[in-house]
Each structure stands twice: as structure tokens, then as C-alpha cells.
Amino acid sequence: MDPLDLLNPRCSICDLKPTVKKVKHYYFDLPKFSDKLYRWIKQSKTLSDNSKNFSLQMIKQGLKARSITRNNKWGVPAPFPDAEDLTIYVWFDAVLGYVSAVMEYFENQDRKDGWMDYWLDENTHIAFFIGKDNIPFHTIIFPSLLMATHDKYTLNFHIGATEWLTFEGQKFSKTKGIGIWGDEAIKLLPGDYWRYTLIYLRPETRDTDFTLSTLEYCVNKELNDDLGNLVHRVLNLIKRYSNGKIEKTKPKTDRQVKLYHMGIQTADKVDKEYMDMRFQRVIYSVMSLVREANAIINHEKPWETWREEPDKVKGLLYILAETLKRISIMLYPIIPESSKKILEYLGLDYREVGWKDIYTPKDVYLIASEFRPIFYKIDKEEIRNKLKEIRGENMEEVDIETFQKLDLRVGTIVKALKKEGSKNLLRLYIDIGDRTVKVLAGLANYYSPQDMIGKKVIVITNLKKKKLMGEYSEGMILAADDGKGNISLLTVDGDIENGSKVR
């Protein structure tokens, strides 16, 4: 449908009727690169199947010239002739930022041409971690811009595109308080707990829901009961039955041989899964090795056999130490702090350990004389309550003098508009008796501008001015939030003069 065919169209941002006007814009001739893009995507050995299929389908449907400029005050000014009022469309300058950021880095290092050693090297591989809706910007727009330079930029692109992640059945929303944000997460739990759970849930093939129940399971069962228990058992066994030192020795049972080779096979598999950006599968693969290591301890029962078969027990302890080393290396990108502790307890310096050490048996392990549990169990309800405290939802008592510092007044909304460039903000002009104040309120998802006009509301008039999207808000209006996505304005019952003080 042509936009001009719409009946009574209204702008979703400012709610005004659009006007038709002729303007000048600059376009990128994307169809010109269709054949090159198709060949590159088809022949690529680094792009994932879902990225390939999605992009090839777009090309088959026919690419169109894309406008690279906008009539917008927000953005980078367009550097073209007669383009004083135009800015660059964000998804053109944003992807070029991948290159310019590396340029800036080397300029700051007084190595102006250093960026070429990476971007113009055919052996350079580049990884992008994006949502599925951003695939075409990285497989169509960005490569075509690089091709247009006629320079030999590397196109070894690895794209880790995910599906959607929701929070306990709802879309993430900071304004509605749905989700947990980075600064809150670190106050609640160690970073490794969040990293592990998010990778465990990573929506690699389908939309996934994050719940505190899943967080509790990942920490309590997988990290604490499985991995943490294995670390504690192995260290205690080496300390008790080998005086904290275990030297390299050959496996003494078929099951020990199986565990040793399973470690190598798991590393080979995990290496490919990392390169394919299948991080969720990394966890599944490594935790299978963890469970097998726990199982062999239960099966061989070294606490019963160490007197009669000491060599067999030493073989087991060495294989277990090697397995712990391998596990910590493989999980290092996901739970780095925990992996450092495991290596430290094994007597290794994490700064000197690398992937190659998975395949290089250690001559001797001298474990730490003291070690503590790596993980601890959590309770989801305690996490939920602590989150409320962080957000101030469990409010502390205040005295009347503190409350009286707020200047609360009755006001009538005389004008309401949607804030340009925002989906959430309304610009409200409120008569509070002696003056009219301008308030920016995040209510556009709950009230239309027309619904707001004429309402008598409660305004906090002595808040410090706050700048939102380049514009100052001169106060705040009161509203009720039930925490479930429902917002309701606090309005005044009856006829009372604007400016009346709320006590």
C-alpha cells in the first residue's frame, strides 16, 4: 500500500496529520551489489546457516536502493552537497563504526595505518553478536559498503544471531520494571552466575524465557551441585590420599581411560561449538564431562580402595585433576572468575594457561593448602525481595519533615503532545496557578495526548530539572503503577483551584 492511500493518517509520535512534501535524499545503489553479495554469502565458510538462508532469501526477493539520509536532527550530519539539513541513517554509519573504531584505536596508539593489519587482512575473522532482526545490516548493508570501496576488506564474518529473550513471560521494559538490569544484577549475585544462566538460556534457535526459577536451577544444580561438588571432591581426595600432590601417571582402569579420552573429545567438540557461536551447546557438552567425572568417583570409591590399590587411586586422582583443568579452560569464556579459582586451587596460574594445555598433560599438580567452595546456593524469593530493596520498592519510613520538602500542587493539563523521536514520552503543559510548567512524562503507551487535556493532576513542582532527549522537564506528575504494566494517573476529585497545595 502507498502511504498516500491511508485514510485519516496520524503520526504515531506527535499524533499530528502528516503533510506531503518533496525533499532531496541520497541513496545507496544496493541492487548493484546483488550478484556479489549472493556469491559471497553462498560461498562463505563462516556465516551460520540461518544467516545465510535469511540473507539469500532477501536477495532473491530483490534488493532496493536504500536512502542513507534522513530529515532528522538526531544523527551524524550528512557530508554531501546541499545536505545541510540531512543526517546519515543510523544503520549506515553504525556498521561503518566497526572500521572507524579500529582506526581510532590505532591513531591513539600513534600507529595510524595499524587498522589495515586487521581489516585488510584476509585471515582476520570478525564476530558479531546481534538479534535476528539485525542480520541484514551485517550480511547485506555492511558488506556492500565495504565492497563499494574496492579495497580488499576481510569478509570472514561470524554472526551469532539470536531469537528473542523474554523475562518471566513478558517483554523487557525498563519503564515498567520488567527485567533485571546490569547494575542491579551485580548487586544481587556474582557475575558468573548470570553469565552461566544467560548462556544456558541463550535463544539460539527459538525464543526463550528467562525466569528466576531457571536462574535458581542453574546456580544450585549445575554450578553448585555438579561442578562445585566435583571441584570440592577432587581437591579433598588429592589432599587426603596424596598429601596435596599428584604426579602424572597412566590411567589404571577402563573407566579412567574413557574419562581421559572423553576430555579430549569434549574439547574438540567445544572448540567447534565456540567457533560456530553455539555457546549454549558448550555448556551441555562440558557439563556432560562434569557429570561423568562425578560418576567415576562414585563408581571407583577411592575412600574404600586406597589402601589395597594405591596405584589405581593415584591414576584416578591424576585423571580427575586433568579433567578439572580441562573443564576450567573450556568454561573460562563463560565463567571466568570461577575458572580462575579452579585453576588456582590446582596450583596453576591462569595467566599462563591456554587452550593448548587441554591437550598437554601436566607433570605434577600441587593443590592449594586451603580452598573454599566455588559456588553457593541461592533462593529465588530472596533474589526477588533483594531486587525490590535495590529499586526502593521496599520503602523505608520517612519523617514528616522530609515529606514536607516536596511541593505538591494541583494543576490542569492545558496542552499535550507526543515528544518528537520518542515512543514513550508525552510533553505536557500544566497550569499550576501562578505559572505553566512543562513536564515530560513516560505515559505515551497508556494515554493519548487528547486523553490528557483537561485532567487535574498532582504535580511535584520543586524537583531539579531533568534533561530528557535534549529537553528539560520542569516537574513530575503522580501516577500509580501496579507492577504488572498498568499505569493510572492520580487525579483530583471535585473542583479546586490550580496551584492548591497537597498536604
- What CATH number does residue 151 fall under? 3.40.50.620
116 class by beta-carbon count within 10 Å (0-12 exposed, 13-18 middle, 19+ buried): middle
Q: How many Cα atoms within 13 Å fall on the side-chain side of residue 293?
A: 32
pLDDT higher than threshold 80 for residue 423: no
Pick the closest to residue 469 from 94, 173, 74 (CA basis).
74
Same domain, residue pair 362 and 405: no
The gap between the terminal CA atoms of the chain, to the nearest Å, is: 55
Measured between alpha carbons, how far is 381 from 193 in angstroms, rounded to an integer? 16
DSSP state of 163: -
Spatial CA neighbour of 48 closest among 272, 224, 233, 255:
272
Let me know whether 142 and 253 are in one domain.
no
Boundary residue ending a domain (123, 139, 162): 162
Distance CA 133, CA 153 (A): 24
- Under the banding of pLDDT at 50, 70 and 90, the label for residue 265 is very high
DSSP state, 299? Answer: H
455 part of a folded domain = yes
Same domain, 354 and 463: no
Query: Are both 326 and 418 inside the same structural domain?
Result: no
| Average pLDDT of the segment spanning 235-244 | 95
Q: How much is the pLDDT for 72?
A: 83
Which pLDDT score is estimated for 422?
A: 80
The x, y and z cell numbers of residue 44, run together, are 562463505
Please check whether residues 342 and 406 belong to one and the same domain: no
256 and 150 in one domain? Answer: no
Q: Is the pLDDT of residue 395 over 80?
A: no
- Mean pLDDT for all residues in the chain: 92
- Could you give the C-alpha distances from 207 to 132, 182, 226, 282, 484, in angstroms and in order? 11, 21, 27, 19, 22
* Whether residues 86 and 30 fall in one domain: yes
What pTM did the predictor assign? 0.72
Average pLDDT of 169-198?
92
Q: What is the mean pLDDT of residues 448-472?
A: 88
Give residue 344's domain range: 225-366
Q: Is the pLDDT of residue 218 over 80?
A: yes
In SS3 terms, 1-13 reads as CCHHHCCCCCCCC
- Asked if residue 337 and residue 232 are part of one domain, the reply reads yes
The model's pLDDT over 129-148, given as tens digits with 9 standing for 90+, comes to 998 899 999 999 999 999 99
Question: Do 340 and 440 share a domain, yes or no?
Answer: no
Regarding whether 356 and 229 lie in a shared domain, the answer is yes
Task: Give the CATH number of the domain where residue 355 resides.
Answer: 1.10.730.10
% of residues, the chain, pLDDT over 70: 98
Q: Does position 15 have pLDDT exceeding 90, yes or no?
A: no
pLDDT in tens, 31-47: 999 999 999 999 999 99
Phi, psi (rounded to 5 degrees) for 116: -65, -30
Mean pLDDT of 190-198: 97
Assign 252 to helix, strand or coil: coil
Ranges 22-31, 102-111, 263-272, 462-471: which has the least confidence = 462-471
* Domain boundary pick from 118, 139, 162: 162
User: What pLDDT is stored for residue 483 in this prediction?
Assistant: 61
- Per-residue pLDDT at 46: 92
Neighbours of 133 (CB within 10 A): 9
Question: Could you say which of 121, 145, 162 is where a domain stops?
Answer: 162
pLDDT score of 421: 77
Count of structural domains, the chain: 3
Query: What is the separation of C-alpha 274 from the centre of its chain, rounded to a whole number of angstroms?
Result: 17
| pLDDT > 90? residue 398 | no
Question: Is residue 179's pLDDT more than 70?
Answer: yes
Cell numbers found for residue 416:
499535550
Pairing between β-strand 165-167 and β-strand 476-477 as defined by DSSP bridges: unpaired
- For residue 494, give every residue at least 6 positions away whose Cβ sits within 8 Å of its Cβ, in sequence order, or none: none
Q: What is the CATH number of the domain that holds 491?
A: 2.40.50.140
- Could you tell me if residue 388 is inside a domain? no
Show the cell assigned to 444: 505515551
